[in-house]
Every structure is written in structure tokens, then in C-alpha cells.
Amino acid sequence: MGKKHVIKKTEEEMIKEGEQLEKVLSKEPKVSKSAMSKEGRIYIFSSYNNTILTLTDSMGNVLASKSAGKLGFKGSKKSTPFAASKIAETLGAVAEKMGLKKVQVVVKGIGSGRESALRSIANQGFEISSVKDVTPIPHNGCKPKKPRRL
């Protein structure tokens, strides 16, 4: 390895850099107007391996997202109904801090955590305006694979 070059900055350059940092840090996070309207959506995606909950405002902008892996569940424990209820509890706490009262729930997937996550959201006192299931269902579209010969 070669010698390392040390770049020396003048005091004026350091002051300018400090001012730029202060501008960046002083900016407040943007909260959408629809999040302030106390209405949002909770998307529940439940597969055989994991459960993911996403909190959005009514426009569809993501406010928070939680999954079983984020909470510390590993392996086959991520797909359990218990893990899904814990995810829903933590996401509900985040939604309460943001001031959301009324939610629409969109459920997708075939995992075991969809029902328990929905129950947990309902038990936290949110006003659920609608529950929609958007699980994709094939209508004889693609040709299935040939059966495996052994």
C-alpha cells in the first residue's frame, strides 16, 4: 500500500460543510396529509415461510413495515400465528403514535398468520372499515408442469 494523503481543509471550508450538515439534519420528516387524516391501510402478506405487515396512508405511501424476521423470529417460527400476532401488535403501536384510528385491511397469501394478525389488529381498538382478500388465484392460465417420472 502507498502513503496516505491527508487533505487539510481551511476553516472556511469546514464552516461551510458544518452549515450544510445542519441544514440536512434540521429538516423535519415529511408526514403526508393523508396520514394526518387518521386513516390508513394495513397490508398483511402471509406466506408459508414468513408474515409481513405494511402500514400505509390512504394514498399508498409506506409509513411503517414489520416482519417476523425483524422482531427476532427465526426459521419455521416466522410463519406461526403467534409471530403474526406479535407483528400486528408492534405495527399497531406505531400506528397509534402516528394517530391512525381508522384502517382498511388488505390480506394476501395463504400462510397461517393471516387470521391471527387480523384478530390482533381488531383487538387493539382500530376501526376496521373493510377487509379485502387479494390473494392471487389462477383461473386455468398457465399450463402446469409435467409430472415427475422416477
Residue 99 host element (H or E): none
Closest CA to 70 of 81, 78, 62: 78
What pLDDT is stored for residue 14 in this prediction?
Answer: 75
Residues 6+ apart with CB under 8 A from 136: 108
Distance CA 56, CA 65 (A): 9
- The residue extents of the domains of the chain are 34-133
What pLDDT is stored for residue 35 in this prediction?
Answer: 46
- Given phi > 0 = left and psi -120 to 50 = alpha, else beta, which region is 87? alpha
What pLDDT is stored for residue 32 in this prediction?
Answer: 52
What are 21-53's pLDDT values in tens digits?
A: 676 556 544 555 544 568 999 999 999 999 999
Query: Any bridge partners for residue 46, and if so which?
Result: 51, 109
What are 68-108's pLDDT values in tens digits?
A: 999 999 999 998 999 999 999 999 999 999 889 899 999 99
Task: Write the DSSP string, 27-77.
Answer: PPPP--HHHHTTEEEEEEEE-SS-EEEEEEETT--EEEEEETTTTT--GGG
For the domain with range 34-133, which CATH number is right: 3.30.420.80, 3.40.640.10, 3.30.420.40, 3.90.1150.10?
3.30.420.80
Is 51:27 a contact under the CB 8 Å cutoff? no
Average pLDDT of the chain, as a whole number: 85
Is 62:30 a contact under the CB 8 Å cutoff? no
